[in-house]
Amino acid sequence: MRLAMAQISSTADPEENLATVVDRTRFAAARGADLVVFPEATMCRFGVPLGEVAQPLDGPWASRVAALADEEQIAVIAGMFTPAPDGRIANTVLVARPGRAPEGYDKIHLFDAFGFRESATIAPGGEPFVTEIAGHSVGVATCYDIRFPALFTELAHRGAQVIAVPTSWGAGPGKIDQWQTLATARALDSTCFVAAVGQALPDDPGIRGSSAPTGIGHSRLSDPFGSVIADYDSAARTDVHDIDPALTDKARSALAVLANEREFRRLDRTRHS
């Protein structure tokens, strides 16, 4: 499988960002990629009113990405925002595959941390997502999801060999180290390839200084044994990487964390308070 990671820096203009998606997807397709993974918030960066840009999966933005996937015969994974039933929006990862209707994963774990409250405007999803791309099983998680290993092992139990993690990571002391550690740890937890693709560090100092998580770059691709295949720096970059999803079978035989996993009952914490 040939997997491209497109570390871009989204603007507040969905049309401008769509043009970037078209350009980077064509770049990846020309180099034989089966799948290109863009960051969370590809449609529009954080730090602006997102309700004004949210569209359904059959709306014009996602439909244009789906048409692009058909045109270039490549799967595209990219972060966008969709309307939620409760009046908020969903932080959705669009999955567009040639010849198929667009699908979406709604982020389960919302970033209510480090002074940011994603749940104020965004409704949580509730269902893990695994689909087939180029003959292989691909799971999807989003940004803050990466701090929750149970989601990644659940994706693996559902058959995922590769997990794409579109992200717009927040800046701050130690955050790069946390991000890189978590990306590789989740590959080990799930014995999957993990393609953790972040927003590049914005050029505008005003955006970088925002409290919103607008990206730090440092996308990472790890294999099921935790070896790092690719590390990017903070700048915009798109590259294509060859991976063998069959390596998951070898890892699950040798490093049998999924087979050795044991269920446990959560403690009644009220007894220990």
Q: What is the mean pLDDT of residues 240-258?
A: 96
Catalytic position from the list 72, 107, 118, 192: 107
**Residue 205 within any structural domain of the chain:** yes
Q: Is residue 267 part of a domain?
A: no
| Res. 58: pLDDT tops 90 | yes
Residue bearing tokens 């099983």: 137
From the list 40, 72, 118, 192, the catalytic residue is 40
Number of independent structural domains in the chain: 1
Q: Give pLDDT, residue 206.
A: 86
Burial degree of 100 (CB within 10 A; 0-12, 13-18, 19+): middle
Is 107 known to be catalytic?
A: yes
Q: Is residue 154 part of a domain?
A: yes
Section 153-163 average pLDDT: 98
pLDDT tens for residues 62-74?
A: 999 999 999 999 9
d(CA 55, CA 15) in angstroms, rounded, equals 13
Of 110, 142, 147, 113, nearest to 128 (Cα)? 142
Does residue 268 form part of some domain?
no
Predicted local confidence at residue 267, as pLDDT:
55
Q: Determine which one of 44, 72, 118, 143 is catalytic.
A: 143
Q: Is residue 175 part of a domain?
A: yes
When pLDDT is cut at 50, 70 and 90, the band that residue 265 belongs to is: low
Active site residue 192: no
Contact between residue 245 and residue 1 where contact means Cβ atoms under 8 Å apart? yes
Predicted confidence at residue 273, as pLDDT, reads: 42
Domain-located, residue 125: yes
Does some domain include residue 128?
Answer: yes
pLDDT tens-digit readout, 86-121: 999 999 999 999 999 999 999 999 999 888 899 999
Question: Is 272 a domain residue?
Answer: no
Contact 247, 224 (CB under 8 A): yes
Q: Tell me, what CATH number does 228's domain have?
A: 3.60.110.10
Mean pLDDT of 116-129: 95
H-state helical runs in the chain: 14-30, 60-72, 149-157, 175-190, 205-208, 247-254, 257-260
Domain assignment of residue 116, given as a range: 2-261
